[in-house]
A = this chain, B = another copy of it.
C-alpha cells in the first residue's frame, strides 16, 4: 500500500525510529476508512479487566465473544484494535492481517484498592506482541501516582525492547493518585503535563482524556494566567494538549470515557478534529451498543474526521 503525503509527513516526525517501527506506524495510519488521512479511530477493549465482564458486556451480550470485537473493528473500517493478551490470542489467527493490533501489556482492575498509589500489573510481553502479529504495544501510566516512577521504569524497558524489534508504542497517560484532587485528574494543566510526559518517555501514539478548563497546580496557574493560552473550548484545549506533544510532532488520540449520548460523542470528535488532535479511541461507546447502532455511530465518526459532518 502506497503511503499518502500525510502519512509520510507523520512518519517524518519519528525520525529516530527504525524502518520496522515506521512500517507498523504506517500500517495503523493506512488502515481502514481513515487510512491515509492522518486521523485515527481505535477500538480498545480492556473494560473486562477494568470493570469486570458483566459491567462491560451485559448491555450487549454478543460482546462476550472476543471475535465480536475484531469483526466490528474490521467492518467499521477502524484504524486499529487494542486489547489485552487473552482477547488478542482468541482472535489473532482468525483475523490475521485484517486490522492492525495493539497489545495492551498492562492492566488494572476494580478489585484493587490502592488509592494513592494506583498501579497496573504488566500482563503481557513484547514477545507476545510479536508472536501475535501486533503492530504496537499499549501501556497505561498514572502520572501523580506514588507508583509513577516504577511504572515509568517498566515502560522504559518495554519501550526499548519494542522499538528494537520494530513495534510502535502507545501510551495511555491518565493522571491519578498521589496528591491529585478529583478535579485535577481531568484538569487541563495536569492533562497537558501527562501528555507531555508520554511524549518525553518516547511514546509514538499518546492517548489522553479530554480535559476540563480546571487548573490544578498553583505554579501552573500563574503561567496560564500570565500567558495568552486559550482554554475556553474543548477544541482549544485539544490544541493546547497537541502543542504539549512536541508542537504536534506526536500522534495524540483522545478517549471518550463512559458510554454516553451519541450527540456528545460526535461533539467530542468535532472538537478533537478542530483542535488538531489525531482521533478517538472509543470502547464502551462502541461495544455497549448493538452492532447496528455501533456501526452507525462509527460511520458517523469516520465522516466527522473526514470533515463530512
Residues in chain A within 8 A of chain B (CB atoms): 13-17, 48-49, 51-55, 58-59, 61, 64-66, 84-94, 107, 109-114, 119-125, 127-128, 131-132, 143-144, 146, 148-150, 152-153, 155-156, 160, 164, 175, 178-180, 189-190, 192-193, 196-197, 199-203, 217, 219-220, 223-224, 226-227, 229, 240, 243-244, 246-247, 249-250
Given contacts A15-B94, A111-B193, contact A85 B200 (CB under 8 A): yes
Q: Are B200 and A54 in contact (CB under 8 A)?
A: no
Q: Are B149 and A84 in contact (CB under 8 A)?
A: no
Give the 5 A-B residue pairs with the shortest CB-CB distance, closest first.
A15-B93, A121-B152, A121-B149, A52-B193, A65-B247
Q: Are A144 and B111 in contact (CB under 8 A)?
A: yes
Task: Determine which residue in A119, A224, A226, A243 has the highest number of CB atoms from chain B within 10 A of its CB, and name it.
Answer: A243
The docked-state distance in angstroms from the alpha carbon of A46 to that of B61 is 37
Q: Are B52 and A200 in contact (CB under 8 A)?
A: no
- Closest Cβ of chain B: how far from A218's Cβ, in Å? 11
Q: Are A148 and B121 in contact (CB under 8 A)?
A: yes
User: Which residues on B sit within 8 Å (CB–CB) of A65?
Assistant: 246-247, 249
A–B pairs, 5, beta carbons within 8 Å:
A54-B223, A59-B227, A84-B200, A111-B178, A112-B148
User: Which residues on B sit within 8 Å (CB–CB) of A58?
Assistant: 223-224, 226-227, 229
The docked-state distance in angstroms from the alpha carbon of A197 to that of B47 is 11
Given contacts A54-B189, A65-B246, A227-B58, contact A149 B200 (CB under 8 A): no
Who on chain B is nearest to A196 by CB? B53
Contact of A92 among B16, B59, B93, B196 (CB under 8 A): B16
The docked-state distance in angstroms from the alpha carbon of A123 to that of B159 is 10
Q: Are B54 and A224 in contact (CB under 8 A)?
A: yes
User: Which residues on B sit within 8 Å (CB–CB) of A86?
Assistant: 199-203, 246, 250
User: Which residues on B sit within 8 Å (CB–CB) of A113?
Assistant: 146, 178-179
Q: Are B52 and A196 in contact (CB under 8 A)?
A: yes
Q: Are B111 and A180 in contact (CB under 8 A)?
A: yes
Q: Are B219 and A111 in contact (CB under 8 A)?
A: no
Q: A65-B246, A111-B148, A123-B155 are in contact. List 18 more A-B contacts (CB 8 A).
A: A15-B92, A16-B89, A16-B131, A54-B189, A58-B224, A59-B223, A66-B249, A85-B200, A86-B246, A86-B250, A109-B143, A109-B197, A110-B217, A111-B143, A111-B179, A119-B149, A122-B152, A123-B200
